[in-house]
């Protein structure tokens, strides 16, 4: 049985559900970050200083640095 348009029972719009999930995840992440003893302001300042230094040296940012796993980038599963 379907509820009428004036029924007090309303289904929340899917985008509102997703927004609620996003807001709750953001609050949870902020809570975790503030609960850790890491000096986030200092770390952010050091990160920005490092980026500024790279820019001042004229480093090009064409691609990210390659990251290799323990097997030197080999996909594994071969042979």
For 5-31, write each residue's pLDDT tens digit: 666 778 889 999 999 999 999 998 888
Give the chain's domain count.
1
- Domain assignment present for residue 63? The answer is no
The pLDDT value recorded for residue 13 is 92
Mean pLDDT of the chain: 78
- Domain assignment present for residue 71? The answer is no
- Phi, psi (rounded to 5 degrees) for 21: -65, -45
Tell me which residue range forms the domain holding 18.
Answer: 14-56
What is residue 79's DSSP assignment?
-
Indicate the pTM of the whole model.
Answer: 0.37
Q: For residue 68, name the pLDDT band (cuts at 50, 70, 90).
A: low
């Amino acid at each position: 049985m379907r509820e009428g348009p004036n029924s007090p029972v309303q289904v929340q719009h899917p985008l509102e559900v997703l927004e609620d999930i996003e807001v709750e995840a953001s609050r949870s992440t902020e809570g975790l970050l503030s609960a850790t003893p890491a000096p986030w302001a200092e770390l952010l300042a050091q990160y920005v200083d490092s980026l500024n230094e790279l820019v001042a040296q004229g480093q090009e940012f064409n691609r990210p640095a390659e990251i290799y796993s323990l097997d030197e980038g080999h996909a594994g599963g071969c042979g």
